[in-house]
C-alpha cells in the first residue's frame, strides 16, 4: 500500500511574528533579572542547604538511638523502629528526587560539567522549563505526584494539629489564585520561565521541608516508646542495704530509691513519719544493740498526675562482732601439714576477712575463700586472731585457740590394680589373690580414716613366714619394695597360707620417722 508523501507547512507570517516577540520578551526578562536578585537567591539557597544538613544530622542521630534501643529491647521498640525506617525510606526518596532535578537543571544551564553548588548561568530562564515542563521528558508532573504522595503518607504519622498544618502547607500543591496563575497547573506556576537560581532554591527548600517533616515524625515515634524518658509501667519504692547483717558497733547503711530514678525529680523520703534530709537517698542509723530490726517508711514523688506515694520496708539484723573459725578436717590442728581453716563473719564477704597466728608457731596463709594453717610445734596451742574490714577500718572479730597435735601413725597397705585398672588397698583380714600379691611392688603407709588422707613414705619393713615345722622365717624388704627373697617366698605359698608384714618404718610430711606398732596379716588365696 502506497503512502502519500507529506511535507511540513512553512510557518505563517503571523507565527513568525509571535516567535520573534517571544524571543524579544525572554531577552527583556533576562535583562530585568538583576545580579542582586540572583545573589539573593544564592544566599537563601546556601542558608537552606546548611539548615537541611543540620536537620539531617539530627535525624541520623535519632535513627542511631532507635537502633540502639531496638537491640536492647526489640519487643518494645521493634514496631516503632520499623515505622522510623519507613519514614526514612519515603523521606530519602523525595529528597533524592529533588537532588536529581537540581542536577538536571544545572546541566541544562551549564552543560554536562555543571556544578550545582556553583552555577554560572543562574539567570537562564529555559533550563528549569525544559527539565520540568518538556512535553515528553519533563519531570514536573512526577514531582507533583511525589509531593502529594509524600504529604499523605507522612501526615498519617503526625498527631499534633499545629504540626499537621505546618507540614500540610509546606507540601501544598495548590496553585494560588492571583494574576498570572490562571490556567496554569502547579508545575507551570512554579517552574515556567523560572531562573535557574530560583528553581534550585525552590528545590532546596523542598529538601529542607522533607527533613523537617521527617524530624517531627521521628520525635513523635520516640515519644511513643520514651527512649529518652524511660517511662516504666510500675513504680515502686526500694531499700538497698549495703548489708542485711550489721556488726554491733557499726552502722546499718542503705539506699532508699523509687524506681525508676529521675535525676530531675527527687522523691521525698519519710521514715517513722519524719522526712529525712538525703540528697541521693542514703540513710544511716547506728547499730547499738543486737537483734532483728525493720526499717519502714514511704516515699512521695510529684508527677503530672499528682503525688505518687509508695511504702517500703526492709528487715536487717545486728549481730555481735563474732567470727566463726573451724578447722575443715577436724577440731584440732596437726603439726607439719597443711590444715584447711574455714573462717566466716556474718554479713562480711570472705575477701574482707583477715587472720593471723597471734603467737607464731607456724604459718597461716589465705587459700581461695579460706586459709591454710601449718603449725610447727607439737602439743602447743596456737591462737588465730580474726579481723574484718568494716567501712574502711579493721575491726577485731575475736581470737580462737587450737591445740596442735602430732600426726597419728599411719597404717600399712598393699596396693594393687584390679581387673578394671583401679587402685585397691589391701588392709588384711580377708583373702588376697595370689596374682594381686605377685603384681604388687611393695607396701604403702597412710592415714586413711575418713577425716585425714595423708600419705607416708615407707623406709623399710619385714615379712614373717612359717615353714613346715612352724619355724618363723623373717625377710627384710628393699626399702618400700618387696625384696627378691620375699617374692620367692610368695611363690611358694599355698592357698590358705598366711604371712605377716611387721616392723614398718615410715616418715610423714611432718618429717618425723616412726616405727609402726601395727602389723598386716596377709592370707593368700
Cα–Cα distance between 412 and 427 in angstroms, integer? 7
Cα–Cα distance between 110 and 121 in angstroms, integer? 6
Q: What is the value of pTM for the model shown? A: 0.41
CB atoms within 10 A of CB 158: 19
Cα–Cα distance between 43 and 308 in angstroms, integer? 54
In this prediction, residues 345-352 reach a mean pLDDT of 81
CA distances from 65 to 75, 77, 220, 295, 461 (A): 16, 11, 14, 40, 81
Q: Residue 268 — very low, low, confident or very high, per pLDDT cuts 50/70/90?
A: confident
Highest mean pLDDT of the ranges 150-159, 181-190, 441-450: 150-159
Q: Residue 7 — very low, low, confident or very high, per pLDDT cuts 50/70/90?
A: very low
- The answer to whether residues 219 and 157 touch, using CB atoms and an 8 Å cutoff, is no
* Higher per-residue confidence, 260 vs 25: 260
pLDDT at 24: 47
Q: Residue 8 — very low, low, confident or very high, per pLDDT cuts 50/70/90?
A: very low
Highest mean pLDDT of the ranges 128-137, 288-297, 345-354, 359-368: 128-137
* Higher per-residue confidence, 223 vs 519: 519
pLDDT at 82: 92
Q: Is the domain defined by 324-405 classed in CATH 2.60.40.1080?
A: yes
CB atoms within 10 A of CB 344: 17
Written as nine digits, the cell of 364 is: 597461716
- The answer to whether residues 322 and 398 touch, using CB atoms and an 8 Å cutoff, is yes
Pick from 247-256, 280-289, 343-352: least confident = 247-256
Q: Is the pLDDT of residue 488 over 50?
A: yes
Cα–Cα distance between 382 and 385 in angstroms, integer? 10
- For the segment(s) 236-319, the CATH number from 2.60.40.10, 1.10.3720.10, 3.40.50.2300, 3.40.50.2000 is 2.60.40.10
Cα–Cα distance between 99 and 383 in angstroms, integer? 87
Q: What is the pLDDT of residues 112-145, one digit of tens each?
A: 989 888 888 888 889 889 999 999 999 999 999 9
Percentage of residues of the chain with pLDDT beyond 90: 32
* Higher per-residue confidence, 239 vs 463: 463
* Higher per-residue confidence, 26 vs 451: 451
132: three-class secondary structure by DSSP:
helix
- Average pLDDT of the chain to the nearest whole number: 82
* Higher per-residue confidence, 49 vs 130: 130
287 Cβ contact list (under 8 Å, min separation 6): 246, 247, 248, 249, 250, 251, 252, 318
Q: Residue 50 — very low, low, confident or very high, per pLDDT cuts 50/70/90?
A: confident
- Three-state secondary structure string covering 308-357: EEEEEEEEEEEECCCCEEEECCCCCEECCCCEEEEEEECCECHHHEEEEE
366: three-class secondary structure by DSSP:
strand
Cα–Cα distance between 411 and 427 in angstroms, integer? 8
* Higher per-residue confidence, 244 vs 350: 350
In this prediction, residues 456-463 reach a mean pLDDT of 95
Q: How many helices (H) and strands (E) does the chain have?
A: 10, 25
In this prediction, residues 204-208 reach a mean pLDDT of 90
Percentage of residues of the chain with pLDDT beyond 70: 81
Please confirm whether the linkage preceding 371 is cis (ω < 30° from 0). Answer: no
Q: What is the pLDDT of residues 83-116, one digit of tens each?
A: 999 999 999 999 999 999 989 999 998 999 898 8
**Nearest by Cα to 266 from 254, 278, 251:** 278
pLDDT at 230: 39
Q: What is the pLDDT of residues 60-81, one digit of tens each?
A: 998 998 898 888 778 878 889 9
Sheet holding 282-286, edge to edge: 236-241, 251-259, 282-286
Written as nine digits, the cell of 200 is: 534550585
Cα–Cα distance between 30 and 276 in angstroms, integer? 79
Pick from 135-149, 389-403, 411-425: least confident = 389-403
Q: For the purposes of burial, counting CB atoms within 10 Å of the CB of 228, is it exposed (0-12), middle (13-18) or buried (19 or more)?
A: exposed
Q: Is the pLDDT of residue 190 over 90?
A: no
**Nearest by Cα to 87 from 107, 128, 59, 123:** 59
What is the DSSP code (8-state) at residue 397? E
Give the position of cell 530514678: 261
Cα–Cα distance between 325 and 413 in angstroms, integer? 35
Written as nine digits, the cell of 107 is: 546541566
- Three-state secondary structure string covering 448-478: ECCCCEEEEEEEEEEEEEECCCCCEEEEECE
Question: Where are any strands of DSSP class E within 164-219?
Answer: none
Amino acid at each position: 500500500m502506497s503512502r502519500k508523501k507529506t511535507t511540513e507547512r512553512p510557518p505563517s507570517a503571523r507565527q513568525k511574528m509571535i516567535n520573534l516577540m517571544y524571543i524579544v520578551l525572554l531577552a527583556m526578562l533576562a535583562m530585568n533579572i538583576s545580579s542582586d536578585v540572583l545573589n539573593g537567591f544564592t544566599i537563601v539557597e546556601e542558608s537552606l542547604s546548611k539548615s537541611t544538613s543540620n536537620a539531617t544530622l539530627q535525624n541520623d542521630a535519632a535513627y542511631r538511638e532507635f537502633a540502639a534501643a531496638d537491640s536492647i529491647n526489640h519487643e518494645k521498640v521493634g514496631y516503632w523502629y520499623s515505622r522510623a525506617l519507613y519514614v526514612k525510606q519515603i523521606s530519602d526518596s523525595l529528597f533524592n528526587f529533588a537532588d536529581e532535578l537540581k542536577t538536571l537543571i544545572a546541566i541544562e544551564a551549564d552543560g554536562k560539567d555543571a556544578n550545582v553548588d556553583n552555577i554560572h548561568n543562574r539567570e537562564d530562564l529555559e533550563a528549569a522549563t525544559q527539565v520540568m515542563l518538556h512535553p515528553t521528558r519533563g519531570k514536573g508532573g512526577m514531582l507533583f505526584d511525589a509531593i502529594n504522595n509524600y504529604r499523605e503518607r507522612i501526615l498519617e504519622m503526625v498527631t499534633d494539629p499545629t504540626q499537621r498544618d505546618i507540614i500540610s502547607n509546606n507540601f501544598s500543591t495548590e496553585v494560588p489564585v492571583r494574576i498570572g496563575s490562571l490556567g496554569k497547573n502547579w508545575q507551570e506556576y512554579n517552574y515556567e520561565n523560572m531562573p535557574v537560581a530560583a528553581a534550585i532554591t525552590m528545590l532546596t527548600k523542598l529538601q529542607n521541608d522533607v527533613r523537617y517533616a521527617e524530624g517531627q515524625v521521628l520525635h513523635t515515634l520516640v515519644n511513643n516508646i520514651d527512649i529518652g524518658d524511660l517511662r516504666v509501667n510500675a513504680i515502686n519504692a526500694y531499700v538497698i542495704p549495703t548489708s542485711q547483717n550489721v556488726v554491733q558497733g557499726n552502722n546499718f547503711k542503705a539506699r532508699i530509691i523509687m524506681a525508676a530514678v529521675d535525676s530531675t525529680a527527687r522523691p521525698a523520703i519519710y521514715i517513722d513519719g519524719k522526712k529525712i534530709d538525703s540528697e541521693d537517698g542514703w540513710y544511716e542509723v547506728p547499730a547499738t544493740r543486737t537483734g532483728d530490726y525493720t526499717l519502714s517508711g514511704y516515699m512521695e514523688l510529684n508527677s503530672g498526675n499528682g503525688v505518687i506515694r509508695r511504702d517500703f520496708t526492709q528487715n536487717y539484723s545486728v549481730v555481735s562482732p563474732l567470727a566463726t573459725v573451724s578447722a575443715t578436717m577436724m577440731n584440732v590442728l596437726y603439726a607439719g601439714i597443711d590444715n584447711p581453716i574455714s573462717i566466716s563473719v556474718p554479713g562480711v564477704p570472705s575477701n574482707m576477712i583477715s587472720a593471723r597466728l597471734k603467737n607464731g608457731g607456724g604459718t597461716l596463709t589465705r587459700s581461695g575463700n579460706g586459709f591454710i594453717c601449718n603449725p610447727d610445734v607439737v602439743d602447743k596451742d596456737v591462737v588465730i586472731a580474726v579481723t574484718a574490714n568494716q567501712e574502711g577500718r579493721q575491726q577485731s572479730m575475736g581470737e580462737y585457740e587450737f591445740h596442735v597435735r602430732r600426726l597419728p601413725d599411719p597404717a600399712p597397705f598393699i596396693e594393687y590394680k584390679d581387673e578394671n585398672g583401679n587402685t585397691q588397698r589391701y588392709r588384711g583380714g580377708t583373702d588376697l589373690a595370689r596374682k594381686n600379691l605377685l603384681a604388687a611392688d611393695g607396701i604403702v603407709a597412710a592415714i586413711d580414716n575418713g577425716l585425714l588422707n595423708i600419705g607416708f613414705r615407707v623406709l623399710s619393713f619385714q615379712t614373717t613366714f612359717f615353714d613346715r615345722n612352724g619355724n618363723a622365717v623373717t625377710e627384710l624388704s628393699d626399702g618400700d619394695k618387696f625384696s627378691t627373697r620375699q617374692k620367692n617366698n610368695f611363690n611358694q605359698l599355698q592357698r590358705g597360707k598366711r604371712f605377716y608384714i611387721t616392723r614398718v618404718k615410715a616418715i610423714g610430711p611432718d618429717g618425723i620417722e616412726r616405727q609402726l606398732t601395727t602389723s598386716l596379716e596377709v592370707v593368700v588365696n
